[in-house]
Amino acid sequence: MEVILKEDVANLGHRGDVVKVADGYGRNFLLPRKLALQANLANKAVIEQMKAAAARRSATEKTQAEELVAKLGPMVLSFTRKSGENGQLFGSVTSVDIAAALEAKGFQVDRRKIQLAEPLKALGNYDVAIKLHREVTAQVKVKVLGDSAEETNAPVPVAEAALAE
């Protein structure tokens, strides 16, 4: 089955491409979700208009993404989590947490665009990639800190204990 993609589909193609897919994939996934049109003569005539519109839309999305990269560049997101003695977190920092922190600062970023291979499960500084456009990727600095409750429960050094008495 040949279909015309209305949106970018991972591992398949970009908006406006004519691709050949399995019948079931096209009928059961792409067409019901409005990600593609069946490639018949009437729809093939519309392809050129779709490609021109897609090119214009992609250009505006790219400029918006580049503006957002400039705003996200100096940003540092800090997360405080409970951690063990060796710096391992009891929980983790996920793409959902990063998206929520960005939204709290006024940036609308879809969590699926945040590229974390796996959740952050240790204390430290990380660079997290956010794919805003197929040609534009932003880097955001993420700091994962231990909670302050453990620091106050830390044993008092011997020299300070002697002074307190």
The pLDDT score that the predictor gives to residue 156 is: 39
Closest by CA to 72, choosing from 162, 142, 161, 163, is 142
The DSSP 8-state label assigned to residue 29 in this structure reads: I
Residue 25 pLDDT > 50, yes or no?
yes
Residue 155 pLDDT > 50, yes or no?
no
The CATH number covering residue 34 comes to 3.40.5.10
Residue 22 pLDDT > 90, yes or no?
yes
Same domain, 59 and 120: no
Same domain, 94 and 51: no
**E-only strand ranges, the chain:** 2-5, 18-20, 36-38, 76-81, 88-93, 114-115, 120-122, 124-133, 136-146
- Phi, psi (degrees; rounded to nearest 5) at 113: -85, -15
Query: What are residue 124's DSSP bridge partners?
Result: 144
* Domain boundary, last residue among 41, 63, 85: 63
The answer to whether residue 158 sits within a structural domain is: no
pLDDT grade for 148, boundaries at 50, 70 and 90: low
* Domain boundary, last residue among 18, 41, 63: 63
Same domain, 41 and 87: no
Q: Which domain holds residue 37?
A: 2-63
Same domain, 56 and 90: no
Please tell me the total count of domains within the chain.
2
The answer to whether residue 165 sits within a structural domain is: no
Same domain, 112 and 58: no
Same domain, 8 and 33: yes
The pLDDT score that the predictor gives to residue 146 is: 87
For the whole model, what pTM was predicted?
Answer: 0.62
136-146 vs 76-81, strand pairing mode: parallel
The pLDDT score that the predictor gives to residue 96 is: 92
The CATH number covering residue 131 comes to 3.10.430.100
- Residue with the larger pLDDT of the pair 47 and 164: 47
pLDDT tens digit sequence for 70-111? 988 888 999 998 888 888 888 889 999 999 999 999 888 888
Closest by CA to 58, choosing from 141, 137, 136, is 136
- Phi, psi (degrees; rounded to nearest 5) at 80: -110, 125
pLDDT tens digit sequence for 106-143? 888 888 889 988 888 899 999 999 998 888 889 999 99
Burial of 35 (0-12, 13-18, 19+ CB in 10 A): middle
